Amino acid sequence: MAQGPVRSEHRPRPSGWRRTVARLPLKLYRVGLGPLFGNRLLLLHHTGRTSGLDRSVMLEVVTRDAARGSWTVVSGFGPRADWYLNLRRRPDTVIQVGNRRHRVTARFLTPAEGGDIMARYAPRHPRLARRLCALMGFTVDGSEAGYRKVGESIPFVRLEEADR
């Protein structure tokens, strides 16, 4: 029987040079080079829940359903990430994928749905899945059950195109 993931420690947000590197895709998007990332990353525009100011963040697309017009993303820093909390307050927003903008509504997935997504993602991207789990502070044994447990522990959000 596979053992579930072990959260080794709470990972702080990147700072210093790591923050600069992590924010580089955002800068590239802002100067019109978003298409370089294909459908792998998206730019999420959101409104600060306290300040009311426009904010933006780059997120990895975990799954894309072109037929339904939806993108699934995950909050690697958990349910206390600012963008996640801001979407909880105002789920209707805009994303940019490449040079295309889409009006979307955020739907917050259940832990079971998150587990299913992570269990399907890990075999398709094994090295990246292991690295992402480590970044989020999880140690996994590589099993489907281990990745499913990680997926149940982190918040997934489906961004559904509003015009469909």
Residue 42 β-bridge partners: 59
Higher pLDDT, residue 50 or 24: 50
User: Which residues make Cβ contacts (< 8 Å) with residue 81, sequence separation at least 6?
Assistant: 75
- DSSP string covering 15-80, please? -THHHHHHHHHHHHHHTT-GGGGTTSEEEEEEE-TTT--EEEEEEE-SEEETTTTEEEEE-TT-TT
Condensed to tens digits (0 to 9), the pLDDT of residues 123-150 reads 999 999 998 898 888 999 999 999 999 9
Residue 46 has pLDDT above 60, yes or no: yes
Mean pLDDT, the chain, as a whole number?
87
Condensed to tens digits (0 to 9), the pLDDT of residues 70-112 reads 999 999 888 999 999 999 999 999 999 988 999 999 999 999 9
Question: What band does 1 get if pLDDT is binned at 50, 70 and 90?
Answer: very low
- pLDDT of 127 reads 93
- pLDDT of 52 reads 93
Beta-strand relationship, 100-108 and 41-47? unpaired
* Alpha-carbon span 129 to 83, nearest angstrom: 22
Beta-strand relationship, 92-97 and 70-74? unpaired
- pLDDT of 87 reads 97
- pLDDT of 164 reads 65
